[in-house]
Structure 1
Amino acid sequence: MTCGIILADGRACDEPVEAGAPLNLCTGHLLEAHDWVARAVGTTDLLPSPCLACGSRIGVRYPSGWVCAECEWRVGEVPDDELDRPRVEVVYYIRYRDQIKIGTSVNPRLRLASLPHDEVLAFERGGRAVEQRRHVQFAAHRFAGTEWFAVHDALLEHIAELSAGVDDPWREYERWVLRRVALRTS
């Protein structure tokens, strides 16, 4: 079978149609049709560099330029440094020796700088209500009168779920903050 396109000079395209093609078009004309549609709907691809607003690597390419697929920040625009950083409450999980602390903060860098810890295990979006739920959830292993817990399987499983696919909890936190910046300035 040959392509069903009639060329500008009035003759039919004589290129073959690949078996299983969704339309009676040769590969070259399918690609032209794709490019035509992509102008309107964009093409999802890796960004040339991480999004300055949220850190995502995935973007949508339009003829007019790139947009972040995560927060829709226009690539090339620089976030305004004079904007106040938005509040992003997190529940943090830190390990110190054989204990894990579950706490909350809107400024985890400042908070964790004042706490002894060996490792930041994970962040979870949420404030006091989420923190209190976690304290109740893992209460059987809590050291009385503290926010510190003995290491145990259920807590480790919860932390593993939070950190699945996250190489660095700090980058995840920063992405949440920058996404809030991008969303409030759009």
Structure 2
Amino acid sequence: MPTVVCLVPGCGRGVAPDAPVSVCTWHLAVGAEWAAETDGVTDLLPAPCRLCGSRLGVRWPSGWLCAVCEWRHGEPVDDELPPPRVDVVYYLRFDDRIKIGTSARPRQRLAAVWHDELLAFEPGDRLVEQRRHRQFADERFGRTEWFRRSAALDAHVAALAAGVDDPWALYARWTSEAIARRG
């Protein structure tokens, strides 16, 4: 069986049998390096992003960017800027009831509300909260923000929580995205 030779003119090196294209290992490495300079390489950040906590980054010749919020790794967070307003609808469980509320400062709000578990966050303000109150009106306790658990409400919360290990990490991502949009 003849040895396959690198298709780069004048190279003459052999090609590995499992090479994706008929070029030698050296030319594959040159191509990979060139692609990394133009497209970046997704990899773990050297340390968690200081803005959103993500570990996923993109390595460029000029440095690292967080793959989630695009914060340049190593840059300080400007503490003089006020944090952006990120409104969320939150879902709290207490015993067999679920509270649907909203806040622009969920850490402070949830610290003031007795609950067993934070189930999920949903981006949105009072309009989204009111829509959810109407959506689950049959389960609502009077005019409160507390609802009886039902198949429909549990399914809605499960859909919001799907793939989210920690709702606070999701909130951090939304906040970092708002900071990145602000510039």
Correspondence for 2:100: 102
CA deviations over 1:17-70 (Å, ceiling 9, x no partner): 535633x31233112211122112211122122211222222111112111122
Matched with 1:12 is: 11
Number of residue pairs matched by the alignment: 180
Aligned residue identity for 2:135: Q
Which residue number corresponds to residue 171 of structure 1? 169
| 1:119-154 Cα distance to aligned partner (Å, 9 max, x none) | 111111000111111111111111111111001111
**What are the ranges of 5 or more consecutive residues in structure 2 without an aligned counterpart?**
none
Aligned positions of 1:70-109 closer than 5 A:
70-109=68-107
Whole-angstrom distance in 2 between the partners of 1:116 and 1:106: 18
TM, length-normalised to structure 1: 0.89
Structure 1 CA distance for aligned equivalents of residues 116 and 171 of structure 2: 18
- Aligned partner (choices 124, 140, 143) of residue 142 of structure 1: 140
State how far apart, in whole Å, the 1-side matches of 2:71 and 2:39 are. Answer: 16
Secondary structure in structure 1 of the residue aligned to 2:157: helix
Unaligned stretches of 5+ residues in structure 1: none
Is the contact between residue 53 and residue 182 of structure 1 (CA under 8 Å) also seen in structure 2? no
Distance 1:83 1:45 in 2: 29
Q: Which residue does 2:47 correspond to in 1?
A: 49
**C-alpha contact 2:69 2:173 (8 A) present in aligned 1:** no
Q: TM-score, normalised by structure 2?
A: 0.90
**Alpha-carbon distance in 2 for matches of 1:79, 1:100:** 36
* Structure 2 contact 52–169 (Cα < 8 Å) conserved: no
Mean CA deviation greater in 41-50 or 135-144: 41-50
Stretch deviating more after TM superposition (61-70 or 84-93): 61-70
Aligned CA RMSD, in angstroms, stands at 1.7
Q: Residue 108 of structure 1: CA displacement? A: 1.2
In the alignment, is the contact (CA less than 8 A) between 2:89 and 2:124 conserved in 1?
yes
